[in-house]
């Protein structure tokens, strides 16, 4: 049976995590979000979590080698498809992932990268208004507010602003995204596997476009 791999790519705050989650709900495919996986490790106080926490709070990328096992574990199992959010983020990670694909999926399995495009100005405005929950849910005060102020709709816990959504950290994350993300975009483009989506539209509209593209490609 073939497995589909969809990789969401885009600047921080582009909404790629939200789109990945919507697609997971529609398809039942497995989400591999390195940010979520790392935050889980931090919350659980594991050895990896303690190491990763030094980077997470500063908005710095966690060393590539710490992510290989985490991602490879995610790729095991019988899921019909995988939805990546936040990985790969640099050329080394892309190379690591391509090696994992050799082991875990077939050469003929469809792999596509969705680039959710959003300007830097929009990113800065958006991330300042992002609120997160320990359960993994993410809200936006304007575009996707919780029903009750400051409280997660799903689990009822208090929402918080992630350290890496603070202005100085956002500027740094954007710089890193532009420097390290370009070779990844170039790679998928050369492969004819890059699908650009305008991320400056309502969440539901972006999701519709993604679904339409997947239907065109006969992946759903
Ligand atoms: P995210 O939820 O994708 O915005 O990720 C939150 C934080 O987790 C990032 O700022 C990094 O510190 C770390 N992280 C997530 N994914 C990666 C990755 N692919 N490479 C390195 N660090 C990552």
Q: Are 158 and 139 in contact (CB under 8 A)?
A: no
Choice from 61, 93, 96, 137 to test ligand 1 binding pocket (greatest atom count within 8 A of CB): 61
pLDDT tens-digit profile of 147-171? Answer: 999 999 999 999 999 887 888 889 9
Asked if residue 35 has its Cβ within 6 Å of ligand 1, the reply is: yes
Looking at residue 88, what is its pLDDT? Answer: 98
Using a 10 angstrom Cβ sphere, with 0-12 exposed, 13-18 middle and 19 or more buried, the burial of residue 140 is middle
* Largest interatomic CA distance in the chain: 47
Query: Is residue 59 pLDDT above 80, yes or no?
Result: no
What share of residues in the chain are helix, strand, coil (percent, to 5)?
A: 50, 15, 35
> 116 in ligand 1 pocket by Cβ < 6 Å?
no
Q: How confident is the model at residue 125, as a pLDDT? A: 85
Beta bridge partners of 32: 84
Here the tokens at position 30 are 């497995």
Q: Taking the domains of the chain in order of start, what are their residue ranges?
A: 4-29+79-118+174-216
Query: Per-residue pLDDT tens for 101-135?
Result: 999 999 999 999 999 999 999 998 888 898 999 99
pLDDT digits (tens, 9 = 90+) for 177-193: 999 999 999 999 999 99
- The per-residue pLDDT for 162 is 85
Res. 57: pLDDT tops 80: no
- pLDDT bin (cut points 50, 70, 90) of residue 56 is confident
CATH superfamily, domain at 4-29+79-118+174-216: P-loop containing nucleotide triphosphate hydrolases (3.40.50.300)
Pocket lining: 81 vs ligand 1, CB cutoff 6 Å: no
pLDDT given at position 77? 81
pLDDT at 61: 87
Cβ atoms < 10 Å from Cβ of 201? 14
Q: Does pLDDT of 60 surpass 90?
A: no
* pLDDT at residue number 1: 79
Chain segment 33-50, per-residue pLDDT in tens? 999 999 999 999 999 999
| Nearest C-alpha neighbor of 204 from the set 6, 26, 34, 11 | 26
User: What are residue 57's phi and psi, to 5 degrees?
Assistant: -65, -25
Cis peptide before 88 (omega within 30 of 0): yes
Contact 29, 82 (CB under 8 A): yes
Alpha helices (runs of H) in the chain, residue ranges in sequence order: 16-27, 34-44, 47-56, 65-75, 91-104, 120-128, 167-190, 203-216
What gap in Å lies between CA 129 and CA 41, rounded to an integer? 25
Q: What pTM value is reported for the model?
A: 0.88
């Amino acid at each position: 049976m073939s497995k589909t791999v969809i990789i969401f790519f885009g600047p921080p705050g582009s909404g790629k995590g939200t789109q990945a989650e919507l697609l997971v709900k529609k398809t039942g495919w497995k989400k591999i979000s390195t940010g979520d996986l790392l935050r889980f490790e931090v919350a659980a106080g594991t050895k990896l979590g303690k190491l990763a926490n030094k980077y997470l709070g500063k908005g710095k990328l966690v060393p590539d080698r710490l992510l290989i096992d985490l991602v490879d574990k995610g790729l095991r199992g019988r899921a019909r498809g995988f939805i990546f959010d936040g990985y790969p983020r640099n050329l080394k990670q892309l190379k690591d992932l391509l090696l994992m694909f050799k082991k875990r999926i077939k050469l003929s399995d469809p792999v596509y990268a969705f680039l959710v495009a959003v300007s830097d100005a929009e990113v800065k405005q958006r991330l300042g208004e992002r609120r997160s929950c320990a359960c993994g849910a993410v809200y936006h005060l304007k575009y996707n507010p919780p029903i009750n102020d400051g409280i997660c709709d799903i689990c009822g816990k208090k929402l918080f602003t992630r350290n890496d959504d603070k202005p100085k950290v956002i500027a740094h994350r954007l710089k890193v995204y532009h420097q390290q993300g370009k070779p990844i975009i170039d790679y998928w483009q050369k492969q004819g596997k890059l699908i650009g989506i305008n991320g400056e539209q309502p969440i539901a509209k972006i999701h519709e476009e993604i679904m339409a593209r997947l239907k065109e490609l006969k992946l759903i």
